[in-house]
Amino acid sequence: MIPTAKDFLGAIWPPFRHKDDALLTPYYTFHDYRQIWGMGIFILMAAALLPLLVMTLIYYQLTEQSIDREAILRTERVASNARRAVTYFLEERLAALTFTVNEMGYDRLTDPGRLKEVLSNLKLGFGGLTDLSVIADDGTQVAYAGPFNLEGKNYSTQPWFMECKQSSACVSEIYLGYRDVPHMVVAVKSLRADGRFFILRATLETERLIQTLDSYRTGEHADIFLVNHAGVLQTPSKYYTGPDQRLTLALPPYSERTQSLVASDAAKRAVVIGYAYIDTKIAATSFILMVVKERAGMMKVWLDLRHQINWFLAVSAVIITVVIILTSTFMVNKIFHADREKAKTMMLAESNAQLASIGQLAAGVAHEINNPLALINETAGYIKDLFLIEDRYKDDTEMVEHIDSIIEAVERCGTITRQLLGFARHFDVQVQPINLKRMVDDVVNFHKKEAEYRNISIHVDIPESIPLIETDRGKLQQIILNLVNNAFQAISNGCFLDIRAKMDDAQHVCLFIRDNGCGISKDHLNKIFEPFFTTKKEGKGTGLGLSITYGLVKKLSGNITVESQTGEGTTFMVRLPIRMEKEIPS
């Protein structure tokens, strides 16, 4: 069978309802199957998905932490390496100047020819040197070698000069100076023979320093630069340059060692910062080396992985959900149907028990009533006899009529009690082989005259293949007779009656008695086997025929069911065992 949309809907949203639920409801073990179904799905989902989600979250956290740590360490390492390079760059130059100052002394250095020679030697050794100058202790430049003629210029107000005066050497910040080219000054102090100090000053191009720093820039959105203690950028920053060359990031706190931390930039993005306060062995500097990487960029690999994990998680969750829903639906549906069957059986059993107890009660009452009824009958009969025999009453016809009405009433009561007794017959069931076809033919023959008279066609179709049935002849005859009688009362002239039989299985035979009469309404359908239920006019029927038939069928270990459509007709189905058990409860 091809599954339809309805089947599919039923598989994920089962109805748990049936037309006859109202009757069955009291017999169900569970009442809210929708709730059981929902609870089942919820519990299974929670049990299956919760550990999955928790594990994933823990995994996320651990991986994120380790990647974070790794990123910080890596940044710190880069910062550390860059610091070493910058420190080395400055120390190398300071050491060369110190060496020159100590080796040559004030007198030789102030000789312009010698100073020029020293400059060209230093240029050869390190490169990136613009000029050299010797400055006296009052700040006046006394000798100069380089492309600009700056002799006689006074530096006493320059910060680097003041700093150099205090200590033995200094490194200036990077500034544009008179020539509008970024450069920095390194200077060392030495003493002249007369005890006064002088300073040897070199101007360095920062190009090489910037190149060195750039070589440590790795990865996307990475930035490396120098900044002074006041937060002014010393070398260009790709991303964090603010107005007046100020750094847009907060300055990290002072630390002797290379450090790293996670901070956020002006746009509130998380950044990993590795930094070092740069100090050379010879002179302190105001530089802070900073390596800045955007955290998101460093986490990209992890984010990609997380994307995949999320997909995997989503797909698994969907599969688990579908499997759980289908399984729950299947299981709860099974329970529901089993419960429904049970409820049906219980309802049937209860109505059977009701019919049986009504039957027993009725039979008991009928039997007790029959004896006094018989006495009334005979007494009234005797009085009538006397009236008919004795001459003095012979002409009193009114009296005889009264007595006749007593006798008629008794007769009517007798009919009822006899039928009531049909519920609980004390006669044994006598099992004998019976030809069903012959028996049906016999019963139909009883009605032949009436059928002809009323123009009712009777059609009997009982195949020869039906075996002999071992059952009680009289009871079966009565069953068929009652059902045919019943049908004759239900149909109007010109209708038909159809009697068929077929094997239901190897052990049971089904007899169908179908008419196209007035039918039975739904309200009446489940009452028709109840005693005293009749739709006939008062006084016309006892309401016992079908309930007796029901009892008889039960006695023969069979079943009787009825199907009917108002206005279309009624079918009674009697299902009997081929071989009846001899042990029958009375």
Partner 1 sequence: MKVLLVDDEQKFALMLAKRLSLRGFQTDVFFAGEQALKAIDEEGRRYAVGLLDVKMPGIGGIELGRRIKALDPAMKIVFLTGHGSDMDYQVGASEADGYLPKPMKIEDLIDTLNRLKDEG
Q: Nearest to residue 477, comparing CAs of 485, 488, 487?
A: 485
Strand, coil or helix: 510? strand
Q: Is the Cβ of residue 329 or residue 542 nearer to partner 1 in the bound state? A: 542
Output the CA angle 286-292-296, nearest 5 degrees: 165
Sequence-distant (6+) residues with CB within 8 A of 325 are 12, 41
Q: How far is the CB of 470 from partner 1 (least distance, A)?
A: 16
Q: Is the Cβ of residue 138 or residue 442 nearer to partner 1 in the bound state? A: 442
Residues 334-373 that bind partner 1 (CB under 8 A): 366-367, 370-371, 373
- Which residue in 377, 486, 564, 571 binds partner 1 (CB under 8 A)? 377
534 binding partner 1? (CB under 8 A) = no
Q: How far is the CB of 6 from partner 1 (least distance, A)?
A: 52
389 binding partner 1? (CB under 8 A) = yes
Q: Is the Cβ–Cβ distance between 329 and 7 less than 8 Å?
A: no
410 binding partner 1? (CB under 8 A) = yes
- Which residue in 39, 375, 399, 468 binds partner 1 (CB under 8 A)? 375
Sequence-distant (6+) residues with CB within 8 A of 372 are none
Q: Is the Cβ of residue 478 or residue 489 nearer to partner 1 in the bound state? A: 478
Total residues interacting with partner 1, rule: CB under 8 A: 34
Residues 418-437 that bind partner 1 (CB under 8 A): 418-419, 421-422, 425-428, 430
SS (H, E, C) 250-305: CCCCCCCCCEEEEEECCCCCEEEEEEEEEECCCCEEEEEEEEEEEHHHHCHHHHHH
Q: Is the Cβ–Cβ distance between 278 and 285 less than 8 Å?
A: yes
107 binding partner 1? (CB under 8 A) = no
Q: How far is the CB of 539 from partner 1 (least distance, A)?
A: 18
Tell me the C-alpha distance between 382 and 413, whole Å. Answer: 19
Q: Is the Cβ of residue 285 or residue 377 nearer to partner 1 in the bound state? A: 377
Q: Is the Cβ of residue 300 or residue 412 nearer to partner 1 in the bound state? A: 412
414 binding partner 1? (CB under 8 A) = yes
Contacts of residues 238-243 at CB distance under 8 Å and 24 or more positions apart, as own/partner, are 239/265, 239/292, 240/265, 240/266, 240/292, 242/266
Q: Is the Cβ–Cβ distance between 471 and 538 less than 8 Å?
A: no
Q: Is the Cβ of residue 178 or residue 427 nearer to partner 1 in the bound state? A: 427
- Which residue in 81, 477, 485, 489 binds partner 1 (CB under 8 A)? 477
146 binding partner 1? (CB under 8 A) = no
Q: Kindly give the pairing relationship between strand 457-461 and strand 496-505.
A: parallel
- Site residues (CB under 8 A) for partner 1? 366-367, 370-371, 373-379, 381-382, 385, 389, 410-411, 413-415, 417-419, 421-422, 425-428, 430, 473-474, 477-478
